[in-house]
């Protein structure tokens, strides 16, 4: 019985650990579906995290903080959009620059907020459900953002596959010349997708600073933005597979924490800390070795600049 309770709380922490990955990766998935590769997820998450924390501390309202984080992420993404979509700069270089910029900007903004305590986002007490043994702990002991993150999966999937706007967005990412030829506005559509990706990354960062570990520490995302990027490839640009991947990576990062604490293995803690990132590399290598099939999953115009002739 004791073991079951431990297992339940471990699973609950996996779901929590997966949430920032889920937000950031879903946003990047939509961005990439429109044909834009934004490698600045880590930077957008950090700026989202520090903005959400600062606003939450100043206003005392956590939800306003999260909204502020989303807005900050979107603004970062729009900066990227201006560079790559309007000025047609190289997407890879700008994405890397956005991350480095985000690291610096978040450190600057967060300087006076280091060490300030904050009561994190409360767990929702859902009448009856939370008290179910095991299941209640695993599924119904979370805060609002966890549920929102999960809800975004079917919403994103429905948007992409069932709505006209989703269809147009995929078309733009698949063949921007043809989409332009049919009269769709490629650049505005990409701006919208990029801004959505930024907002989602911002919420992912906000979850870290106001819910997961309610505090501000420099570079507190610790590479989660990069894992989110890998997750999109892992998921072959499919939202439901992305949910699975987020839990898998969330699980690996929790396993790593328990392994360090419980000294399960006789290996240096640094090696265990590497686990999620090693898993990322392994997954990407295995996926890219599938060759032809993986090519079909990627949006055909991913990373290619578009200028109307």
- Shortest Cβ 4–another protein spacing (Å): 45
Residue 239, token pair as written in the block? 């939202």
Piece in contact with another protein (CB under 8 A), picked from 22-30, 238-246, 262-270, 293-301 = 293-301
- The residue written with tokens 């939370």 in the block is 130
Separation of alpha carbons 123 and 181, rounded Å: 50
Q: What is the CA radius of gyration of the chain?
A: 19
**Among positions 126, 147, 174, 257, the unique one binding another protein when judged by CB under 8 A:** 174
**Is 171 or 227 the residue whose CB approaches another protein more closely?**
171
Told to check if 296 binds another protein by CB under 8 A, we report yes
Taking the complex as a whole, the smallest distance from the CB of residue 29 to another protein amounts, in Å, to 15
Helix (H, G, I), strand (E, B), or coil: what is residue 123?
strand
Q: In the complex, what is the shortest distance from the CB of residue 150 to another protein, in angstroms, rounded to a whole number?
A: 26
User: How far is 94 from 141, CA to CA, in rounded Å?
Assistant: 40
Based on the shown chain and the rule CB under 8 A, indicate whether residue 206 belongs to the binding site for another protein. Answer: no
Nearer to another protein, 129 or 178 (CB): 178
By the rule CB under 8 A, 289 interacts with another protein: no
Stretch of 67-75, 146-154, 213-221, 287-295 contacting another protein, by CB under 8 A: 287-295
Told to check if 181 binds another protein by CB under 8 A, we report: yes
Q: Does 306 bind another protein (CB under 8 A)?
A: no
Is residue 6 close enough to count as binding another protein by CB under 8 A? no
Which residues are within 8 A (CB) of 3 and not within 5 positions of it... i.e. 6 or more apart?
none
Among 36, 150, 171, 254, binds another protein (CB under 8 A): 171
Binding part of the chain for another protein, among 90-98, 143-151, 174-182, 275-283 by CB under 8 A, reads 174-182
Provide, rounded to whole angstroms, the least separation between the CB of residue 93 and another protein.
Answer: 19
Cα 143 to Cα 45, 46, 154, 176, 299, distances in angstroms: 19, 21, 19, 40, 34
Query: Which neighbouring-strand residues pair with 143?
Result: 123
Phi, psi at 141, each rounded to 5°: -120, 35
Q: Which of residues 17-36 bind another protein (CB under 8 A)?
A: none
Residue of 61, 177, 223, 267 interacting with another protein (CB under 8 A): 177
Does 7 bind another protein (CB under 8 A)? Our answer is: no
Query: How does DSSP classify residue 163?
Result: S
Q: Tell me which stretch binds another protein (CB under 8 A): 140-148, 179-187, 213-221, 227-235.
A: 179-187
Burial of 68 (0-12, 13-18, 19+ CB in 10 A): buried
Q: What is the DSSP letter of 121?
A: P
> In sequence order, which residues have a C-beta less than 8 Å from that of residue 145 and are 6 or more positions away?
19, 23, 66, 121, 203, 206, 207, 211
Binding site for another protein (CB under 8 A): 164, 167-168, 170-171, 174-175, 177-179, 181-184, 292-293, 295-296, 299-300
């Amino acid at each position: 019985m004791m073991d079951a309770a431990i297992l339940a709380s471990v699973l609950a922490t996996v779901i929590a650990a997966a949430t920032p990955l889920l937000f950031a990766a879903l946003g990047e998935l939509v961005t990439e579906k429109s044909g834009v590769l934004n490698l600045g997820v880590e930077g957008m998450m950090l700026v989202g995290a520090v903005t959400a924390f600062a606003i939450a501390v100043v206003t005392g309202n956590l939800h306003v903080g999260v909204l502020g984080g989303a807005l900050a992420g979107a603004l970062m993404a729009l900066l990227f959009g201006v560079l790559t979509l309007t000025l047609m700069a190289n997407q890879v270089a700008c994405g890397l620059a956005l991350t480095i910029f985000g690291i610096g900007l978040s450190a600057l903004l967060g300087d006076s907020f280091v060490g300030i305590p904050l009561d994190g986002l409360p767990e929702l007490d859902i009448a009856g459900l939370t008290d179910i043994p095991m299941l209640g702990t695993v599924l119904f002991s979370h805060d609002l953002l966890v549920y929102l993150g999960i809800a975004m999966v079917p919403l994103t999937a429905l948007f992409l596959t069932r709505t006209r706007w989703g269809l147009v967005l995929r078309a733009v990412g698949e063949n921007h010349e043809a989409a332009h030829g049919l009269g769709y506005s490629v650049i505005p559509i990409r701006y919208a997708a990029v801004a959505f990706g930024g907002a989602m990354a911002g919420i992912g960062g906000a979850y870290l600073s106001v819910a997961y570990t309610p505090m501000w520490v420099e570079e507190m995302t610790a590479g989660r933005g990069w894992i989110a990027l890998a997750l999109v490839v892992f998921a072959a640009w499919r939202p439901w597979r992305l949910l699975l991947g987020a839990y898998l990576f969330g699980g690996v990062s929790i396993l790593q924490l328990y392994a360090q604490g419980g000294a399960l293995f006789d290996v240096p803690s640094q090696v265990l800390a590497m686990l999620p990132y090693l898993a990322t590399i392994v997954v990407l290598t295995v996926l890219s070795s599938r060759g032809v099939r993986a090519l079909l999953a990627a949006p055909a115009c991913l990373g290619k600049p578009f200028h109307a002739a």
